[in-house]
Structure 1
Amino acid sequence: MRHFVWERYWSVVKKEVIQIKRDRPSLAIALVMPLMLLFLFGYAVNTDVNDIQMAVWNQSPSAASRELVDQFVHTHVFEVAAHVSSYKEIEAMLDDGSVNVALIIGPDYTRKRDRNEPVDVQMLINGSDPNIARTATSQAQLIVQHQAITLQEMKLQKQGLGELEQPLGLDTRVLFNPNMESIVFNIPGLIGLIMQNVTMILTAFSLVREKERGTMEQLIVTPIRPLELMLGKITPYVGVGLFSFCLVLLVGTYWFGVPVKGSISLLVTLSVLFLVTTLLLGIFISTVAKTQLQAMQMAFAFILPSVLLSGFMFPRDSMPLVIQWLGGLVPLTYFLEILRGIFLKGVGIDALWKDVVGMSSFCLLILTVAILRFRKKIE
């Protein structure tokens, strides 16, 4: 039984380095595309809802009604886009999308407020986008409740009964992301997603390219073992991927202002493990695919489920248990927990060991399957 021979391994590494130097487009994909995608998605993927376009129908013009409108605007969640004078105008603007909400202040608003009588205001909300609708509803309720408490306190003070005391209070502290900015949550996830996609696509073409160019025959007559070939092919890409990872890490940290609160060395070490895993996944795809087109299709067939199942877009806790198990078959699931844990929480290996074990197990599994799939012969 032949053993692992370092000389054969290094010969494959040297061959692949030469191939990478000659294949300038692939090198550009590895170095330029991650930065381009990070800039693109870093600005495009934003779940914060601000400046919701609002139409105002103020049927009781007064200082009190203008104060209410100002309270909506001062939150920076709402922005007055138009003042209207009928439901017909509101309906038309909601239909064409020029506004998403409409605040309607009735003609008796000022009179009832001055008499300390109960009065309602109406808000019509476009529910096509549930995220905007939920934000608009919750913010409007908070504004109206605050205004109601203020009016009640003023009423009590006029009656000489003192200030209104709240029977129940809530002291909240938001940890890890105090301003609750979506970019702080998204940038680490984008780094993991981009690195997975780019590195996997690069190596997915590796063995397929050998088949299409006819160089596989040369490998057949050599004593190179499957493990030596696999590791030899991914080693140069680990270096390229690590360099690319450091670039997007610097951009995410300094350009987007998302600092790494934990250990940089731990982050880089676990990132190398993730890169090896995704590179092996690409090699596995190349052992199955017959052409580069098939390799591309298989790679993208894996990318979409990984985005949905890994927790990048949607919380995994809200998914059915079976879907969560499927997410456990995606290495990005573990790497996102590692990235966000080190970026946002500053935790160490003691808090991340389960994710490290999960990703390491997947790495060994995909390496074993790729070796079994690979046969040093042309089918």
Structure 2
Amino acid sequence: MSAFSLTRVTAVLVKEFTQLTRDRLTYALILLMPIVQLLLFGYAINNDPRHLPTAVLAQDNGAFARSTLGAISNSGYFDIVQTARTPAELDRALSRGEVMFAITIPADFTRRVVRGDRAQILVEADASDPGATGGAVAALAALPQQALSHDLLGAVAPVRADPPFEVIVHRRYNPEAITAYNIVPGLLGVILSMTLVMMTALGVTREYERGTMESLLATPVRPLEVMAGKLAPYVLVGLIQTAFILVLAKLLFDVPMRGGWGALSVGILLFIVGSLALGFLLSTVARTQLQAMQMSVFYILPSILLSGFMFPFRGMPEWAQALGTAIPVTHFLRIVRGALLKGLDFADLWPSLAALGLFVLVVVSLAMARYRTTLD
């Protein structure tokens, strides 16, 4: 064996650069991944959400009530986006996830403030995600001392050091702020995405690499029949995974399961079928198992970061929320958490169910179009 040769090293180097130009998809994904991570972690992730959507039921429209609502808005944590007319309307907005806070100002608020008679306002928080509301709830502690500081002057000035009113906070759906109640149901969507999308993409791509797909293409089997036959066993795998996760969630973490089983069952089935169809679509684009795995990761990473699983959805900027809304995992998490923690069913969860149905329709159509191209 001769000594180290710079010429041979150069030859190998040229060979590798040539290989790079032939596998552009793989290396494009490698270069894109750190850019996507940098943008998401740098701009989209926020552990102290502000401008959280808030609904108000103001039964007292006096000056003190208006000043209190103004102070709440000026805190930066609350954006008043709805004005309810009845307690039922306020409760419905909170349970459906349209708002994260519901504020009730009682009819006798002004009278009690003037008399110094323990005036109160009620703030109900959607605590199904404790991390999303913790900062806003903490900001309410300073509200009674500051909200009416410019209003209570002269004859109505408080004679004691006590605050002019009290804020009563009710944490709904997760009053003890147990993180597992939010994380464990969310894991269902993440685990199904990681296993089903990647498993299907790798399995079908493996057949292309081994040449067994060519034999299948020579048969009169139609594209939809191929997809149905290949995905049906994985649907069963996804259902078994779902049952296993839900049973462990109850036994190990005592996650509340309040109902909504009809909507939850439909949502699970739609999400499983959509994830498998997405894996099939990726397999028609990828030429190797490595590419299939990389594209699967490229889909799973935003699903974890932008869906509200790890970080509060409402804490992200509007452009990131728009991207997150386009991700099916976001809607699936709303269905799972809404059914298990709030007991919501079809009447409340139909927007997320419709989004998952649209996702299935679009992905199946694209997969069929790609598969027909392969046939041709």
Report the TM-score when normalising by structure 1. 0.56
The correspondence for 1:223, drawn from 200, 220, 223, is: 220
SS at match of 2:190: helix
The correspondence for 2:209, drawn from 190, 212, 237, is: 212
| Cα-to-partner distance string for 1:79-118 (whole Å, 9 max, x where unaligned) | xxxxxxxxxxxxxxxxxxxxxxxxxxxxxxxxxxxxxxxx
SS at match of 1:222: coil
Q: How far off is 1:377 after superposition?
A: 4.6
Counterparts of 1:112-123 in structure 2, within 5 Å, are: none
Q: In the alignment, is residue 274 of structure 1 matched against residue 271 of structure 2?
A: yes
SS at match of 1:339: helix
Q: In the alignment, is residue 327 of structure 1 matched against residue 302 of structure 2?
A: no
Counterpart position of 2:251: 254
Q: In the alignment, is residue 192 of structure 1 matched against residue 189 of structure 2?
A: yes
Counterpart position of 1:373: 370
Among all aligned residue pairs of Structure 1 and Structure 2, give the percentage whose two residues are the same amino acid.
41
CA contact (8 A) 1:310 1:316 kept: yes
Counterparts of 1:90-109 in structure 2, within 5 Å, are: none
The correspondence for 1:169, drawn from 132, 143, 166, is: 166
SS at match of 1:171: strand
Change (3 A) 1:166 1:328: closer
Change (3 A) 1:166 1:327: closer
Letter in 2 for 1:338: I
Q: How far off is 1:308 after superposition?
A: 1.4
Counterpart position of 2:233: 236
Q: How far off is 1:265 after superposition?
A: 4.0
CA contact (8 A) 1:329 1:362 kept: no
Letter in 1 for 2:333: L
CA contact (8 A) 1:199 1:279 kept: yes
What is the distance in 2 between the residues matched to 1:341 and 1:265?
12
What is the distance in 1 between the residues matched to 2:375 and 2:287?
10
Q: How far off is 1:165 after superposition?
A: 4.6
Q: How far off is 1:268 after superposition?
A: 2.4
Counterpart position of 1:361: 358
Counterpart position of 2:342: 345
TM-align CA RMSD: 2.6
Counterparts of 1:139-178 in structure 2, within 5 Å, are: 165-178=162-175
Report the TM-score when normalising by structure 2. 0.56
Q: In the alignment, is residue 304 of structure 1 matched against residue 306 of structure 2?
A: no
Unaligned residue ranges in structure 2 (runs of 5+): 1-46, 48-130, 146-158
Counterparts of 1:71-90 in structure 2, within 5 Å, are: none
The correspondence for 2:198, drawn from 196, 201, 205, is: 201
CA contact (8 A) 2:186 2:309 kept: yes
What is the distance in 2 between the residues matched to 1:235 and 1:204?
14
| Cα-to-partner distance string for 1:13-55 (whole Å, 9 max, x where unaligned) | xxxxxxxxxxxxxxxxxxxxxxxxxxxxxxxxxx9xxxxxxxx
Change (3 A) 1:210 1:378: farther
SS at match of 1:354: helix
Letter in 1 for 2:252: W
Q: How far off is 1:376 after superposition?
A: 6.9
SS at match of 1:173: strand
What is the distance in 1 between the residues matched to 2:213 and 2:162?
81
Q: How far off is 1:378 after superposition?
A: 7.1
CA contact (8 A) 1:217 1:378 kept: no
Letter in 2 for 1:323: A
| Cα-to-partner distance string for 1:274-304 (whole Å, 9 max, x where unaligned) | 1001111111111100111110111011111
Letter in 2 for 1:234: L
CA contact (8 A) 1:220 1:376 kept: no
Letter in 2 for 1:328: T
Letter in 2 for 1:255: L
CA contact (8 A) 2:307 2:330 kept: yes
CA contact (8 A) 2:262 2:346 kept: no
Q: How far off is 1:307 after superposition?
A: 1.1
What is the distance in 1 between the residues matched to 2:375 and 2:267?
36
CA contact (8 A) 1:219 1:376 kept: no
What is the distance in 1 between the residues matched to 2:255 and 2:295?
33
What is the distance in 2 between the residues matched to 1:221 and 1:378?
9
| Cα-to-partner distance string for 1:321-348 (whole Å, 9 max, x where unaligned) | 3222222221101101101101111111
CA contact (8 A) 1:199 1:241 kept: yes
CA contact (8 A) 2:174 2:181 kept: yes
Letter in 1 for 2:194: N
Q: How far off is 1:166 after superposition?
A: 4.2
What is the distance in 1 between the residues matched to 2:356 and 2:211?
34
What is the distance in 2 between the residues matched to 1:294 and 1:378?
21
Letter in 2 for 1:199: L
Aligned length: 227
For the pair shown, the structure with the greater C-alpha radius of gyration is 1
Q: How far off is 1:167 after superposition?
A: 2.5
Change (3 A) 1:291 1:335: same
